[in-house]
């Protein structure tokens, strides 16, 4: 049976919780200091923000690639033109015409007007002297060179157009495949954002 407080000695008095607090100005157990209240709510250690140095870093392979020069892109396809067509498209004694690399200027691709031939003037036989025949020979040679150059360019354009037609068909197939893949990724992204919110 416990004795009354009056019967206890001075050294045996029951501890008073109000009197056993920490010294003035020092917060005791379960107490919050005024300074901590002014600084804001107390954050538990487990809620501290993560150290950014330990967060995973996006690998370099996923970085946005730098722009690519369209002229440097090579389309993988099989194009084997007829050697006879290449011979007709090449200047004799020069490098063989390459339809994959050759580029025509805008001026070269302009349509040429149809020129009417000038009316032939009959020259009497008595006026066909040496000067006439020299002029006639030079004119014929110039006309032949002009026809050969025009035919050569037409052949080159034809072979180049055949290459571009096939390249265009391959690129269209790639574009269709990429668009289909993009549509699938957009569907996945839409489903993700509907569940977790926008990125």
- 111-120 per-position pLDDT tens digit: 888 888 778 8
pLDDT tens figures, 5-22? 444 444 445 555 444 445
User: Measured between alpha carbons, how far is 97 from 88 in angstroms, rounded to an integer?
Assistant: 9
Query: Would you say residue 68 has pLDDT above 80?
Result: no
Average pLDDT over residues 91-118: 88
**Chain-centre distance for alpha carbon 45:** 45
Please identify which residue in the block is written with the tokens 């020129």.
Answer: 115
Query: Would you say residue 84 has pLDDT above 50?
Result: yes
* Alpha carbon distances (Å) from 174 to 18, 79, 177: 82, 17, 5
Average pLDDT over residues 154-158: 95
User: Measured between alpha carbons, how far is 106 from 71 in angstroms, rounded to an integer?
Assistant: 17
* Alpha carbon distances (Å) from 105 to 85, 97, 110, 150: 21, 16, 9, 15
pTM to 2 decimal places? 0.58
Q: Are 152 and 93 in contact (CB under 8 A)?
A: no
Per-residue confidence (pLDDT) for residue 86, from 0 to 100: 92
Tokens representing 94? 């020069």
The four Cα atoms 195, 196, 197, 199 give a dihedral, to 10 degrees, of -130
Reported confidence tier of residue 77, pLDDT bands at 50, 70, 90 = confident
Q: Please give the residue that has the higher pLDDT: either 63 or 177.
A: 177
Average pLDDT over residues 43-67: 55
């Amino acid at each position: 049976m416990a004795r009354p407080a009056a019967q206890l000695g001075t050294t045996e008095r029951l501890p008073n919780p109000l009197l056993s607090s920490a010294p003035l100005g020092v917060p005791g157990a379960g107490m919050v200091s005024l300074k901590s209240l002014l600084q804001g709510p107390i954050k538990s250690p487990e809620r501290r923000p993560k150290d950014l140095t330990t967060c995973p870093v996006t690998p370099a392979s996923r970085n946005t690639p730098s722009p690519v020069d369209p002229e440097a892109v090579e389309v993988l396809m099989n194009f084997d033109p007829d050697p006879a067509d290449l011979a007709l498209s090449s200047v004799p004694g020069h490098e063989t015409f390459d339809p994959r690399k050759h580029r025509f200027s805008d001026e070269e691709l302009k349509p040429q007007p149809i020129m009417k031939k000038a009316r032939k003037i009959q020259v009497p036989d008595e006026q066909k002297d040496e000067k006439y025949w020299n002029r006639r020979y030079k004119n014929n040679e110039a006309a032949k060179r002009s026809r050969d150059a025009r035919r050569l360019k037409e052949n080159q354009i034809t072979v180049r157009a055949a290459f571009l037609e096939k390249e265009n068909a391959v690129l269209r197939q790639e574009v269709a495949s990429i668009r289909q893949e993009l549509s699938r990724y957009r569907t996945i992204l839409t489903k993700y954002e509907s569940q977790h919110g926008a990125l």
